[in-house]
A = this chain, B = another copy of it.
Amino acid sequence: MITMLEAIRQALRDELAGDDKVVLLGQDIGDFGGAFKVTQGLVEEFGEQRVADTPISESAMIGAAIGAAMVGLKPVVEMQFIDFLACGYNQLVNFAGKMRYRWGQGASLVVRGPCGAGVSGSAFHSQSPESTYLCVPGIKVVYPSTAEDAYGLLRSAIQDPDPVLFLEHKFLYRRIKGEVGHQPIPLGKAALRRRGEKLSVITYGASSHTAQEVAEQFGDQVEVIDLRCLQPLDEACLFESVKRTNKVLLYHEAQKTLGMGAELSARISEQLFEYLDGPVVRVAAPDSPVPFSPNLEKAWLPGAEQLAEACRRLLAY
């Protein structure tokens, strides 16, 4: 059993070892092993060329990764915190995301880094940026919740021909462990985490664990689906579930407004209207920055109680 953090490192190592086109770049990722130590030891194994430290310049880092991808490399860019991707926003969204459509040349690159709240990181070390990169074309978004998935999905992300944003919830880094295989897991497949008959809870990332805990309280009523990938999205899996349970609750840590739940809700209302026996409910974070103090952060996070209460209400509907 290894932690999610170790699983990510293992995926990077296996990719570096198996494909000499794979290179890593990031701040302090070499000798220092990165702020979270994800890349620890990799520079010793693969050298400074392939595990490259960069200056503090997120836009240049992503731009350089795009250029390197064009000449055939498969760069993996670490953001020290995913929040800092805001400083490289233009390169990712306007360069990487649009190039294949515009002139037929794609960029096979991964931007990865720690996201999410729950560790008192406050407003700039806790963000959940998935909507930001889902509401523009051209970027795949992967968000594992287990060590196994982190390993397998990261390997697929690195080999994927398109730009992938790989989100790693920092709360999970050392808190969950798993038996990690050796195989990539294809992008775009959701995981049914728990079978239930009356209500589908659709979730991803750290929230997937809370959802599973909560679902237990409801015997065989609540089904939990972990999306794992937000783009490409496994619509078939979640539609099948909703058709069966006829009720759906969307649960995530990102803000409610224009969070992933909004998109899922809209798709479900549009395509499964006749299957619905109740309103499509969202449980998500408020539309505010993430507060610092643990009590405030706890009140801010959409926690187990809030989810359980919403499940109860929806089941009773």
Contacts and interface: CB of A to CB of B under 8 A. Distances in A.
A189 B83 CA distance: 33
The SS class assigned to the A binding surface is helix
Interface in A232-267: 255, 257-263, 265-266
B86 A86 contact: no
Contact of A262 (B98, B262, B276, B287): B262
A136 interface: yes
A134 B257 contact: yes
Contact of A123 (B98, B131, B132, B273): B98
Interface string A267-300: 0111101001011111000011100000000000
A93 B86 contact: yes
A138 interface: yes
How many copies the complex holds: the figure is 2
A306 interface: no
A105 interface: no
Interface in A62-114: 83, 86-87, 89-90, 93-94, 98, 101-102
A86 B92 CA distance: 10
Contacts of A124: 94
A1 interface: no
Interface in A114-171: 123-124, 131-132, 134-138
Given A87-B90, A102-B123, A132-B135, A265 B258 contact: no
Given A132-B132, A136-B255, A265 B270 contact: yes
Contacts of A123: 94, 98, 101-102
Nearest to A292: B102
Contacts of A132: 132, 135-136
A90 B86 contact: yes
Nearest to A317: B273
Contacts of A268: 269
A98 B281 contact: no
8 contacts: A86-B90, A86-B93, A102-B289, A132-B136, A135-B255, A137-B289, A270-B281, A273-B280
Interface of A: 83, 86-87, 89-90, 93-94, 98, 101-102, 123-124, 131-132, 134-138, 255, 257-263, 265-266, 268-271, 273, 276, 278-282, 287-289
Given A132-B135, A262-B262, A273-B278, 14 more contacts: A86-B94, A89-B89, A94-B123, A132-B132, A132-B136, A134-B258, A135-B255, A135-B258, A137-B287, A138-B289, A258-B263, A265-B265, A265-B266, A266-B282
